[in-house]
Chain A
């Protein structure tokens, strides 16, 4: 049952081979057994999950079940879910019980899916290793001495360890794709604006985008059908016709033009990662694709640009945490300013404070043009690189991350080293394009390697098709860690 696809699970539920209560309980038992070693979940609410499962069984009995009805899904702890503790990985929100549902949560509830629990994450989604979580690091299920990636590290570990059928993540600079790669699962960051940000705790609003993480592209398509859609409460939500993200899964890949950016295969890329990615490209050629070398000349600049823009937006977004209306308040203070300063100093962790300070500095008087405006101008150059590239290809492929999962604590003291590991993912967020990662082999330490697939705007169905055809021809996506 733990190896079934979402479609197989849905069929079994509708055929009454298993009830949602039974399925949910199976997962809850597995979580109780394995989560203490992995720390993938931070909050469980068994009673609420089983109550949802019971309601789903009623929907199934009544014959009005949808594709996701009765299926247990884990939610990244960045999504507000009414009545659920929602921490965003921070001491600041340790005691925060959300009074409302995020749009994404509403969509899953409406579809009759089960909220299985809230997954661990880097604090306020700021990190690439899940080590900045107030609730402790997540362990990579393939090797407990290694990180799962971040910021959606709990989600990635939960999917890899079969502690949920599928799960949600969010991606501001690679936070879906990089942990998907490091844990050997599939993940999709949609085009900016396709999934509503309402009720998703904000990090950098012009970059944040939610998306599905799961075992295979076919599962991601079903998840997208539930998650995507216009929502007037998010001012950047796009008004588009509803689409079926699974519609093109079975199309052959004959004539597909794959662009390989030379900057993604240059210095800094691990040779074991390069080898696995090159083997995947060779497999695509067998499937009928052609390959063309392209250039994304400003790739290198995406890191400095991101580390100006994301902290700038974060410093503004996180100014709401003041210890007045919700969240942490320091126990002792002398006056209002002291209360703000101490609540924030004690409630935020080191990486979050660092980014708030970077953002505050680049937005401060005298530096705004040199940093913030300059970064926004280069952001346009980076986006234009992709426009140029897509004149020559249909999708872009390359590595998701320069290395496989590194060891816990390995990059702990040097934020710059950690930031550099996002080199292949960040430009996609800056441009607002969809990107995904699928497993394509193993590196030197028998740790999974991710193949990144970058699509043009709104090309998610084609990307899922491209990923699915590869997964029909290979079995990397069905490899599971021994736990």
Chain B
């Protein structure tokens, strides 16, 4: 399967990955090779087969709706790129 430059640009945007034009081109060639490998799947007749999302067919365990975590804001913010007054700083989103 051959992906277009536009396909790769769109995927890079959705994945939030900045890519230069040469990187897009290199990715296009490699991804096309990988999708050739994946294409083998398409010929398989899977009519009536239930998708298997997990190794064990178990239902999700539930817990009581109670606070169990302790406040560790300082420990967590100590490893953040930019914080101020207990807040995570990012570029301005609303003018």
Contact = CB atoms under 8 A, between A and B. Distances in A.
A377 B46 CA distance: 6
Interface residues of A, number: 69
Interface in B44-60: 44, 46, 49-56, 58, 60
- Interface on chain A toward B: helix, strand, loop, or mixed SS? helix
B49 A380 contact: yes
A304 interface: yes
A468 to B, nearest CB: 26
Interface string B19-63: 100000001001101111111111010100111111110101101
Contacts of B88: 324-325
Contacts of B67: none
B56 A335 contact: no
A360 B52 contact: no
Contacts of B17: 341, 344-345, 348, 353, 356-357
Contacts of A431: 55
B50 A380 contact: yes
A40 B8 CA distance: 35
Contacts of A326: 76, 79-81
A307 B46 contact: no
Contacts of B42: 370, 374
Interface string A167-210: 00000000000000000000000011100000000000011000
A140 to B, nearest CB: 26
A308 B18 contact: no
- Interface on chain B toward A: helix, strand, loop, or mixed SS? loop
Given A329-B81, A357-B31, A377-B46, A308 B41 contact: yes
B56 A315 contact: no
B50 A377 contact: yes
Contacts of A348: 17
Contact of A307 (B11, B19, B34): B34
25 contacts: A97-B79, A99-B75, A99-B79, A207-B55, A232-B61, A232-B63, A300-B40, A324-B80, A326-B80, A333-B91, A335-B93, A340-B16, A354-B31, A356-B15, A358-B35, A361-B7, A364-B10, A364-B11, A370-B42, A379-B51, A380-B50, A383-B55, A414-B33, A416-B33, A419-B34
Interface of A: 95-97, 99, 191-193, 206-207, 232, 235-236, 238, 300-301, 303-305, 307-308, 315, 319, 322-329, 333-342, 344-345, 348, 353-354, 356-358, 360-361, 364, 370-371, 373-381, 383, 414-416, 419, 431-432
Interface of B: 7-8, 10-12, 14-19, 27, 30-31, 33-42, 44, 46, 49-56, 58, 60-61, 63, 72, 75-76, 78-82, 88, 90-93
